[in-house]
């Protein structure tokens, strides 16, 4: 399914908020490219910004942020899905299921091996990709 120009524009409009919130200000163009490649909709943008806000206190602040990943790396690796040290993962929907459980996987690693993530888990059912829901 192709995205409309309005959806693309809405996706790009979320980048300044993400970059402003990200603690390490290097590689802005690479981060923008990663954002465009990810093309997050409003829901995923909310998830990303929420995860960033929750993870920010736990990011390595030693040596002037030397060990904080670049924003592009954080996006490309899908690190918004990382668990917060000492935190309890929150369900993505009102049913109380994690995104990977809602997609029909028994463990998050199974979902990741099938290239399922929080941004596309609705395209999966019973641990298999639903071709009619898959985007190009």
What residues have CB less than 8 Å from 131, skipping those under 6 apart? none
CB-based contacts of 16, cutoff 8 Å, min separation 6:
none
Question: CA-CA distance, 19 to 15, in Å (whole number)?
Answer: 6
In this structure, the number of other CB atoms found within 10 A of the CB of residue 17 comes to 13
Ordered by start, the domain boundaries in the chain are 1-83, 91-136
What is the pairing mode between strands 124-125 and 128-129?
antiparallel
Residue-level pLDDT at 71 = 92
Q: What is the pLDDT of residue 58?
A: 75
Bridge partners for 6 per DSSP: none
Averaged pLDDT, groups of 10, the chain, 136 residues long? 64 86 91 91 86 79 70 91 68 67 84 82 84 59
CA angle 123, 125, 127 (to 5 degrees): 105
What pLDDT score was predicted for residue 95?
65
Is pTM beyond 0.85? Reply is: no
Q: What's the CA gap between 110 and 62, in Å, rounded?
A: 34
Per the CB < 8 A criterion, the answer to whether 15 and 71 are in contact is no
Residue ranges of alpha helices (H) inside 1-136 are 5-13, 15-21, 28-38, 42-55, 71-76, 99-102, 108-113
């Amino acid at each position: 399914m192709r995205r409309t120009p309005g959806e693309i524009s809405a996706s790009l409009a979320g980048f300044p908020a993400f970059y402003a919130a990200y603690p390490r200000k290097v590689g802005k163009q690479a981060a923008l490219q990663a954002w465009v490649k990810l093309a997050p909709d409003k829901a995923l943008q909310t998830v990303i910004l929420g995860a960033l806000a929750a993870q920010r206190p736990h990011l390595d602040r030693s040596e002037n942020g030397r060990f904080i990943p670049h924003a592009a790396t954080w996006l490309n690796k899908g690190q918004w899905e990382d668990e917060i040290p000492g935190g309890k993962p929150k369900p993505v929907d009102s049913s109380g299921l994690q995104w990977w459980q809602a997609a029909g996987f028994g463990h998050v690693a199974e979902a990741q091996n099938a290239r399922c993530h929080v941004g596309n888990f609705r395209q999966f059912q019973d641990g298999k990709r639903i071709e009619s829901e898959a985007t190009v």
